[in-house]
Structure 1
């Protein structure tokens, strides 16, 4: 039986520290997700407008987010802007800004895709029935848009949770940072602890994301 070093987690508060680190990652993800949903819906609607300037600005924003790695954005916000502008920005707040910036772009594109996927004849049919624009959106467009949007947005949430592992690079004490601290503190007494601890980290991330992923699959099957 190989020595996985799992006994390290039973020392002191090590396992509790891991859970606390996971809580920090989930807290940052949740705040960023809520901001992304609100701003993403607004920008997604704006992306469907015919105004060329608005469409161009939002397209540039979306392409910047898609091209720029999240780690570069983290370094730019946390290290770059704090020195350039001299403000005091914590690692956690910088992480929320970056993930909200990224999540808003992704969510807005999902909203845009969901809106333009509604056939034009449904707008025309509602007008023929004498429905107002508000009634058309409330009773016809929004319900169909939500059915298309919710499973995709839930998948985005799981991606945001997993990507929070990058925030250790700017010193935020989340689950991977805690794991590194535990491994380093027990390097001499338990040299094989790295495998076991990172395996536990994997399982904790899995337990956090798997129910969300299953919920998305359930909605896809139910609404198919």
Structure 2
């Protein structure tokens, strides 16, 4: 009985489908993270501007992202766009938009923290060497900022990979959705399949996320020395 339940994982192309679903999960997370890094750097720099209105607007954006659950944002973008704007957005695109919206805020706050943590004399030394403002940022500030951001950026990517499991609720066929399809297909013949399918999905997430988590810990320890 146990062997039959496990064999469902490898029946036909079930395991291959799980791998393809995992790739959808990773693709959403990686694309959203790429956009989040680029936009987050811009947003982080904007947050350091000494302007009250700009700071208030940035704070509102951050609070919306931190208070509003990602699932609600997914529903707003996916269902709201279709109903109120008459636009049929593919679930994967809606997911990328939402995770980019979330990741940009998180990344921007990390960039802001990294920028303000750099001592003022670093800027002054650059200007004293005759460098222009853009050169000071490119040659002095950005390299230090990136160095400080690496561990937290990797942790953000790990969180994003795990949170993509929510996209199953807007119809995206990722690894959790594929797992449910496999379980539903064998519900009457092998009722004990669920534990093995979800156990396999757990291992897949672990195999993907654990190296990132360890890398972030190693980098954080190494960069703090």
Fold conserved between structures, TM > 0.5 = yes
Residues 1-224 of structure 1 mapped to structure 2, 5 A cutoff: 5-224=5-224
CA contact (8 A) 2:9 2:197 kept: yes
Deviations 1:161-216 (A, max 9, x none): 11000000001000000000101110111111111111100000111112222222
**Deviation, structure 1 residue 120:** 1.7
**Deviation, structure 1 residue 136:** 2.3
Taking the aligned partners of 1:213 and 1:205, their CA distance within structure 2 comes to: 12
CA contact (8 A) 1:78 1:89 kept: yes
CA RMSD for the aligned pairs? 1.6
Taking the aligned partners of 1:22 and 1:173, their CA distance within structure 2 comes to: 10
SS at match of 1:49: coil
**Deviation, structure 1 residue 57:** 1.1
Taking the aligned partners of 1:124 and 1:97, their CA distance within structure 2 comes to: 39
Taking the aligned partners of 2:132 and 2:186, their CA distance within structure 1 comes to: 68
Deviations 1:59-96 (A, max 9, x none): 11111000000000011111122101111111111111
SS at match of 1:203: helix
Change (3 A) 1:4 1:39: farther
**Deviation, structure 1 residue 139:** 2.9
SS at match of 1:5: helix
Taking the aligned partners of 1:110 and 1:46, their CA distance within structure 2 comes to: 12
**Deviation, structure 1 residue 132:** 3.0
**Deviation, structure 1 residue 124:** 2.5
Where has structure 1 moved over 4 Å in runs of 4 or more?
1-4
Taking the aligned partners of 2:165 and 2:10, their CA distance within structure 1 comes to: 23
Taking the aligned partners of 1:84 and 1:217, their CA distance within structure 2 comes to: 44
What's the TM-score, normalizing by structure 2?
0.94
CA contact (8 A) 1:40 1:105 kept: yes
What's the TM-score, normalizing by structure 1?
0.95
**Deviation, structure 1 residue 121:** 2.5
In structure 2, runs of 5+ residues without a counterpart are none
Change (3 A) 1:45 1:4: farther
In structure 1, runs of 5+ residues without a counterpart are none
Deviations 1:111-140 (A, max 9, x none): 001001111222233334444323322332
CA contact (8 A) 1:9 1:15 kept: yes
